[in-house]
Structure formats: C-alpha cells, structure tokens
Amino acid sequence: MVVDILTLSPGYFASPLQEGLIGRGIRQGAIRVRIFHLRDFTSDRHRTVDDRPYGGGAGMVLKPEPIARALKFLGQALPGPPHVVLLTPRGRPLDQMRVRELSARPRLTLICGRYEGVDERIGAAYCHDQLSIGDYVLSGGEPAALVVLDAVVRLLPQVLGSPESQVEESYEDGLLEYPHYTRPRVFEGQGVPEVLLSGDHERVRRWRRRQALARTWEIRPGLIREESLAPDDLKIIREIQKCGLSDPHRGV
Ligand code: ADE
C-alpha cells in the first residue's frame, strides 16, 4: 500500500513514521509512506498556500491551486489512481468500518487541512471522502492523518507479528472490549474477577461477552443496535437494562 500525505508540516511526521507499528509496517515493506510539502506545489515567489476568505471573516483559507497541483502530480507518479481523503473536522466520522475500507485500498492520499479550512472546491473536485477523527478542532489535519495511518497499518495482513490485527478487539464487532487483567493477582487491594482464574473457558467467554455488552450499554449505548443482536446478547441487554451491571466481579 502507498500512502501519500500532503501537509504544511512535513517534519511533523519524522518520528512517528519510525516508531511502533507504522515504523514496522514501513520497514517490512507492507506500506510506503511519502510526505509532500504543499509549499513545493506553489508557483509564486512567496510560496503562498493560503488567502483571505471570500465574504470576509477571521482566519485564512488554504488555496486550491497548490493542492490541485500536488494531486495531479501524485496521480501521475504511480500507476493506479489514489483514494483521496481530506482530513477536516467537518468530515464524516472515522470509525473502524471506514478504517477497514481504507486499509483495502492500494493507494491512499491524505490531505491535511489548516487554518479555517480548505477551499471548498478541492473537496468537491478532487476528494473521494472527507473524514473527521472526532468532534473537536485540531490546529491542523496532521494528527488526524497519523491516526488514520496507525489504524490502517495495524489491519494490513502483511504486518506480521502484529497481535493487534489478529485478536478480537473493541469496535471490530461493534462493541467496546471486555476488561483485561494480568498479574499480580491482587493489585493495591483490587483482585481479579474469580471467573478468570477458574480455567473454565466457556464461563470466561460468557463473562467477557456480558462485560462487553454492559460496558457498551453504559458508555456508548448508541453503538448497540438491538435489531442486529443475537438472541443471547439481547437477553443479556434486557438483564442489564433491568438490574445494571458494571461491576466486573459480578455476573458470569
Ligand atoms: N482537522 C482539524 N480538526 C480535525 C478533526 N477533528 N478531524 C480531522 N481533521 C481535523
């Protein structure tokens, strides 16, 4: 997979591309990441990338020409058209389903917005999608691009030795994950739920499912679509609705 990132802060990506799973994916050749400075695609002496908004108001807007020029250049540089995504707080929310879709693309181009935003005509004419990583405003799209990259890399099948991409996890089945424990058995007075020490795999499985459903119900009820729940899960939800269940030490 080739990911191209268009940014006004190319240095921002230096260390994240060497670290962790992204670094490993790059070293393994599962992913190639290229960083392009938008100023390199300007045509004036001052390398201008922004301008005042039509209609007035505070802040500056990213000009369309440097971005369009960069995208045209990238489109020709490698075979196959890239999937072009603009990162903006006005975009559709990024979720695990969209990450999965993105990770299946051979080429991805991420445009990092800045200032008050990017000229609307870039989104309209050049972008296949506009994504937001959450309901808050960052100073630029760079952290969001790294979030997308990290989430995508860990799903690439070639990124070997990545337990994250194999285990069952939060959001892959639409639920928040059950709680985890490791040694010591008692930490600052808190024990480990008895069921996890029982060696009874079926009880553990049921407890984990119940905890995942209870957590999701308590913290992110909007993630639960009752019509698509299996009958066993629906039964658990009904019980949680009646009695509540957030204590991991109860309810197997
Ligand atoms: N740029 C600024 N804020 C952002 C956000 N929440 N998501 C994506 N890009 C952004």
Global pTM reads 0.93
Kindly give the distance from the C-alpha atom of residue 139 to the centroid of ligand 1, in angstroms, as a whole number. Answer: 8
Residue 3 pLDDT > 60, yes or no?
A: yes
For 169-243, the fitting CATH number among 1.10.3720.10, 1.10.1270.20, 1.10.287.110, 1.10.3330.10 is 1.10.1270.20
Structural contact between residues 149 and 3, judged by C-beta atoms closer than 8 angstroms: yes
Q: How many angstroms separate the CA atoms of 178 and 158, rounded? A: 27
| Atom 10 of ligand 1, residue of closest alpha carbon | 88
Q: Which atom of ligand 1 is nearest to the CA of 113?
A: 1
Kindly give the distance from the C-alpha atom of residue 92 to the centroid of ligand 1, in angstroms, as a whole number. Answer: 10
Structural contact between residues 148 and 87, judged by C-beta atoms closer than 8 angstroms: yes
| Atom 2 of ligand 1, residue of closest alpha carbon | 138
Cis peptide before 184 (omega within 30 of 0): yes
For 2-161, the fitting CATH number among 3.40.1280.10, 3.40.50.11900, 3.30.360.10, 3.40.50.300 is 3.40.1280.10
Tell me how crowded residue 246 is: count the other CB atoms within 10 A of its CB.
13
Residue 84: pLDDT band with limits 50, 70, 90: very high
H-only helix segments in the chain? 20-28, 64-77, 96-103, 120-126, 142-153, 201-219, 231-243
* pLDDT at position 163: 59
Kindly give the distance from the C-alpha atom of residue 91 to the centroid of ligand 1, in angstroms, as a whole number. Answer: 8
Structure tokens at 198: 């029982």
Residue 168 pLDDT > 50, yes or no?
A: no
- pLDDT digit string, tens, across residues 11-62: 999 999 999 999 999 999 999 999 999 999 999 999 999 999 999 999 999 9
Kindly give the distance from the C-alpha atom of residue 222 to the centroid of ligand 1, in angstroms, as a whole number. Answer: 22
Higher per-residue pLDDT: 110 or 114: 110
